[in-house]
Structure 1
């Protein structure tokens, strides 16, 4: 069974509850992959009020999650 999630994960929603749920799921998937690879941290990028991406990044130390805004 393949449990790898394709990263980056795009998160877009119109209400706060949906955004939070989708971000939690995306960060969980990224964490699983980060733990498997053991070399990158998680970067959550906000592109707008309701638009985010979640990805692994060499710029984030392993074991950490960082947020940034690009809007």
Structure 2
């Protein structure tokens, strides 16, 4: 069974989802700038490491509250 988690969705062109396939986590990031990027992780700690780098305080284009909401959604996967 595949379980899909929505991390965020601004519109149909800007969203991030995580699908859980057993122990494998497949992250799909869709943006109007870059198209679709797909990342495969073999563990939650590996995915969290990526997420913390991708949504770092220095590089995040948004409020700290939005950033915390996104990281919390990752933790709930």
- TM-score normalised according to structure 1 size: 0.32
- TM-score normalised according to structure 2 size: 0.30
Q: Which has the higher contact order (CA 8 A, sep 6+)?
A: 1
